[in-house]
């Protein structure tokens, strides 16, 4: 990754495509977990790559690149979610996050995931849905691995409670 970054910093902008190719699919899935809408997920992912490109010169190449870019992406997701909450607050409740791509039987589960706190939701998405280790998730979330596992545990507990109330059973 260092040679790719060095090339980009030297002005070989076309090399940035390698970063996009490497992370695009994964970032789309992560953003979709936050929004349940592929168009919004695409916008968030594109925003991540723009921010990454703009801030690449500030990346400390003695550290791992993956947690750095994941952190940018998670923050882009967080900013999107925050803006949507503000829109609902000022303009009333509306279903901006609906998608025809979601089967009806999964929608209640996704709705429950959306009720989690941002930290719980992030831990759940990264570790349970995307298969990240607690160490990697902690780096992305900027916390200790134990803290990431606590957020995941609380997320699972809250999801279980919510799903039980909706009539889902183990």
Digits of tens for pLDDT over the chain (170 positions)? 889 999 999 999 999 999 999 999 999 999 999 988 999 999 999 999 999 999 999 999 999 999 999 999 999 999 898 887 766 655 554 443 444 555 556 677 778 888 899 999 999 999 988 889 999 999 999 999 999 999 999 999 998 898 888 877 65
For 83, the domain range is 1-99
Do residues 28 and 60 both lie within one domain?
Answer: yes
Q: Which of 99, 131, 148 is the last residue of a domain?
A: 99
Which residues, 6 or more positions from 114, have their beta carbon under 8 angstroms from its beta carbon?
36, 97, 121
Which residues, 6 or more positions from 138, have their beta carbon under 8 angstroms from its beta carbon?
144, 145, 147, 148
Q: How far is CA 137 from the centre of its chain?
A: 11
State both tokens at 117. 């706190």
Do residues 56 and 135 both lie within one domain?
Answer: no
Do residues 150 and 85 both lie within one domain?
Answer: no
Measure the CA–CA gap between 101 and 54, rounded to whole angstroms.
32
- CATH number reported for the structural domain that contains residue 51 in this entry: 1.10.1740.10
Measure the CA–CA gap between 18 and 128, rounded to whole angstroms.
27
Predicted TM-score (pTM) of this structure = 0.72
Do residues 126 and 154 both lie within one domain?
Answer: yes
């Amino acid at each position: 990754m260092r040679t790719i970054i060095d090339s980009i910093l030297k002005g070989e902008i076309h090399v940035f495509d390698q970063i996009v190719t490497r992370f695009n699919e994964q970032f789309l899935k992560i953003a979709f977990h936050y929004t349940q809408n592929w168009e919004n997920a695409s916008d968030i992912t594109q925003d991540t790559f723009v921010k990454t490109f703009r801030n690449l010169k500030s990346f400390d190449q003695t550290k791992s690149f993956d947690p750095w870019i994941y952190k940018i992406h998670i923050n882009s997701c967080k900013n999107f979610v925050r803006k949507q909450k503000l829109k609902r607050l000022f303009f009333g409740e509306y279903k901006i996050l609906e998608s025809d791509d979601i089967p009806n039987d999964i929608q209640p589960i996704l709705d429950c995931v959306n009720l989690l706190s941002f930290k719980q939701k992030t831990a759940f998405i990264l570790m349970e849905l995307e298969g990240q280790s607690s160490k990697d998730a902690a780096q992305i979330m900027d916390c200790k691995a134990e803290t990431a596992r606590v957020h995941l545990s609380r997320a699972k507990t809250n999801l279980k409670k919510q799903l039980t109330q909706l009539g889902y059973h183990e």
